[in-house]
Amino acid sequence: MNRVVWRRWKSRIMVSLLIASVLVAVAPLILILGTLIIRGAGSINFDFFTRMPAPAGEAGGGVAHAIVGTLLMVGTAGLIGLPLGIGAGVFCSEFPRSKLATTARFVADVMNGTPSIVIGVVAWTLIVARQKHFSGFAGSAALAMIMIPMVLRTTEEMIKLVPHSLREAALALGYPRWRTSLSVMVRTCLPGIVTGSLLAIARVAGETAPLLFTALGSQFMGTNLRQPIAALPLTVFTYATGPYDDWHRIAWATALVLIMVVLCLSLIARLATRQRFHD
Amino acid sequence: MTEASGSGPAIEARGFSFWYGPRQALFGIDLAVARRTVTAIIGPSGCGKSTFLRSINRMNDLVPGARYQGSIGVEGMAALDRGTDMVTLRRRVGMVFQRPNPFPKSIFDNVAYGAKLNALVSKRELPDLVEQCLRQAALWDEVKDRLAQPATGLSGGQQQRLCIARALGNRPDVLLMDEPCSALDPIATQRIEELIFELKRQYTIVIVTHNMQQAARVSDMTAFFEAGRLVEFGVTTQIFTAPKETRTEAYITGRFG
């Protein structure tokens, strides 16, 4: 075999290995989606989104309470977490070498690697144990604690990608620093910050562990964040560990809804980023 | 257009020294730039010519550890005073950078950016101002049909002329140009040079350049910097044909630098 042929074969072998690893990497996602669709899609109908759970043992019913609970809790977490995270991220990119920024960056990195159940325990200690009852608000606080470091880091990284020359251009036109920062730096990478925020929302929408200690879950429709409140991941947990076959079906369907929500947010995030490259 | 009047120089540096942390970059620069002239600053890399230029509108304030002494007067304003209003200073001193840096916005918005900030004209007059600036920057005919399109779609040379138009939008007295052609091809460079020639009728221009032919072509006065010191300053033809200093001669005849 001459050299050129052998080289060609080496190339083919390496490319095949790479393709194989890509397939193995995406296989879990396909398996998860496939299983959820097979087991859960059958139970999804209009009632599933609009009705309350049926009494134990009875067929039918829906998870409207959990959808409302998740929306409320994740929404509140976003209202707390996004402004704080984005604000802190802007600070870290504006004063990158300050002590405060270095500390914040380090803490955020540690927090991003902290298991979410630990965050749940912390929220329990700080809020639930003091108020002596579980609440949706405690759940939101725990989710916000997960969001802040994520959003901080993505915001900072996105702003860092904006060329320094744009900052100079704005300053040279007489823009004060704060306006340069907001109307040039943040404005230019806004799609990236929005993407990061959506991904953070998608991530916390699926969190279960921190909610076990805080929002607790509920079988009733509740819109009061001062009370225990239902959530999609908690519903999956409750129904999946319950004794009835019908509950298991609901658990599969709820899991499917949850993953669809996460997928949709990721897709929107993708589209937002794509827009950016078309500009 | 310019509020400048009187007979004093447009820019006057006195005993200006500059440090980056412990390293001194400029040593007691004394330099006066006359109104409505083009002054070229030449010198080898690292001689401090860009540092000097960027001190005039205080862009160096961004650099950590930067310190300076002495004074720079710009149209009667003490540019370096702590109490100086940076917005006013930078409105009167426009700057064009080495690489074109248009904002990722429309062509129109780029030119209107400074005027909007400083509320120089009403919203109704904005299109007129934009047209006027683009005409002055010799770009109007090329972009008049696509003002709403993103500025990043223009060629490098067009982008640089757009940046000049953007600087003119503030109606400045002085234009600082930091190697404005170093990222451009010869034809785009020629257009910018012709433009500089046009603009000096209304503006005081200071241009830093690595290209000595360019300095000889566009400027009335030339300042030669070396190792942080102003070696020689004089009428361009004199600097290039009969320099007084041997170091200037060595540099312009290509013996070093």
Q: Does B90 touch chain A (CB under 8 A)?
A: yes
Closest Cα in chain A to B105: A279
Residues 6+ apart with CB under 8 A from B76: B6, B8
So where are chain A's domains? 3-43, 48-278
What angle in degrees, to the nearest 10, is found between the helix axes of A136-161 and A116-123? 130
Kindly report the backbone phi and psi dihedral angles of residue B100, in degrees, each rounded to the nearest multiple of 5, phi listed first.
-55, 130
- Please state the rounded mean pLDDT for residues B235-241: 94
pLDDT at residue B4 above 60? no
CB A173 within 8 A of CB B167: yes
In this complex, which of B62, B104, B113 lies closest to A279 when CB atoms are compared? B104
Interface list for chain A against chain B, based on CB atoms closer than 8 Å: 97, 163, 165-176, 179, 184, 188, 279
pLDDT at residue A273 above 90? no
Does domain A48-278 match CATH 3.40.50.11540? Answer: no
Pair of tokens at residue B58: 């205080």
**Residue B231: predicted pLDDT:** 95
In this complex, which of A97, A165, A173 lies closest to B90 when CB atoms are compared? A173
Is residue B211 assigned to a domain? yes
pLDDT tens digits for range B151-208: 999 999 999 999 999 999 998 999 999 999 988 889 889 989 999 998 999 999 999 9
CA distance A169 to chain B (A): 7
Distance between CA atoms of A91 and B115, rounded to whole angstroms? Answer: 28
Q: Does B234 touch chain A (CB under 8 A)?
A: no
**Residue ranges making up the domain that contains B176:** 34-46+85-252
pLDDT band at B61 (very low <50, low <70, confident <90, very high): confident
**Residue B6: predicted pLDDT:** 55
pLDDT band at B256 (very low <50, low <70, confident <90, very high): low
**Which residues lie across from B208 on neighbouring strands?**
B41, B178
Is residue B75 assigned to a domain? no
Q: Does B62 touch chain A (CB under 8 A)?
A: yes
In this complex, which of B86, B97, B152 lies closest to A165 when CB atoms are compared? B97
CA distance A81 to chain B (A): 29
Interface A–B counts its CB contacts (< 8 A) at 62
Is residue B150 assigned to a domain? yes
Distance between CA atoms of A221 and A97, rounded to whole angstroms? Answer: 49
Is residue B17 assigned to a domain? no
Pair of tokens at residue B49: 């010519």
| C-alpha R_g of chain B | 18
pLDDT tens digits for range A15-61: 999 999 999 999 998 999 999 999 988 888 888 888 888 777 677 77
User: B167 and A172 in contact by Cβ < 8 A?
Assistant: yes
A99, A167, A173, best to mutate vs chain B, most B CBs in 10 Å? A173
**Residue A191: predicted pLDDT:** 87
Is residue B78 assigned to a domain? no
pLDDT at residue A275 above 90? no
User: A188 and B104 in contact by Cβ < 8 A?
Assistant: yes
pLDDT at residue B147 above 80? yes
Is residue B21 assigned to a domain? no
User: B114 and A176 in contact by Cβ < 8 A?
Assistant: no
- Chain mean pLDDT for chain A: 90
Task: Give contacts of B 110-149 with A, CB under 8 A.
Answer: 113-114, 117-118
User: B150 and A188 in contact by Cβ < 8 A?
Assistant: no
Is residue B14 assigned to a domain? no
Closest Cα in chain A to B118: A174
pLDDT at residue A214 above 80? yes
- Please state the rounded mean pLDDT for residues B222-234: 95
pLDDT tens digits for range A93-142: 999 989 999 999 999 999 999 999 999 999 999 999 998 889 999 999 99
CB A234 within 8 A of CB A208: yes
Residue A221 or A257, more confident: A257
* Burial status of residue A51 (CB atoms within 10 A of its CB: 0-12, 13-18, 19 or more): middle
Is residue B166 assigned to a domain? yes
B192: CATH = 3.40.50.300
